[in-house]
Structure 1
């Protein structure tokens, strides 16, 4: 049974001889009842305060949980963003490396083709120079023979001698032309050798 301030105030005691003064007892009980009532009020006030604090604590705990979740989500987002950026950077670097290798390979091929073309052109130039030199030498030789023939005959030749001289000159010219043709064939074979070999060109 819980005791209330009213119970304290209404409490009655049995009177005996030589007992306590009833007025003093009543006054004390009144004071005790008032103190007890005040303690109850304080207790109720503290209970309300505790309830309020517990409510605030739950609110704070909820806010803390929400902040932790938000922070964790932000950290995960940052980590994922860094990973994505790293992968994209690696992909860009690999693509650039592949492109650079392709460009270098194409440049090497073009350089090799240019070297082979230069060798071919040089060979053709030398061959043409030799043919022209042989042709010029043949013509000069033929001209010299004709002049010697004219001097030997004293500028007067019979039709038979003239015909014989022309025949000899024609023979020499034919032989010179055949020699020039042989030079052309040799030069052509020499000009094809670097391309068929496919080796490294040396300048």
Structure 2
């Protein structure tokens, strides 16, 4: 492949009068050089772009691998979650069905028990009703056996005719009220009251004089001589 330097350094031989004109050849060569230089720049740009694109492709491939691994991991996690959710759902459904079945059995048993209790209560009610009716009949018969007012009056008349009695008037004894007895009150004269007061005062003075100190014979003091006694 021809290069730009070869184009620049190319030379043509002279062919006499029928040869090419040097100016035209030089002008053409200049145009070729410009075109080749532009092509070289474009090639360089394209190579650079290709390198950039190749780098990006490699990066995309690495990212793609990472994304693929992430997708695989997320797919695995998703599958595990779905599987676990299905297992839990199945377990919950089984437990719910078991509880519902047990609840149905318990409900039927309770219904049967309540029905039996209701029938027993109805039977007791019927029995109690019969007993109350019989008791009511007995009480009604006892009430009917009681005498009426007319029968009672007729019986009273028969007794009065068969056993006549005269009315008896009872006399109440009269109570006697005793008069109150007089109470004797002794009235003393003023002279007697004064004499009694004087006698009481004299007796108190005599008692005071008769009393003597219990330790009157004892002598005390700093100047007292014990040997004098």
The TM-score normalised by the length of structure 2 is: 0.39
Whose helix fraction is larger, Structure 1's or Structure 2's? 1
Greater Rg by CA = 2
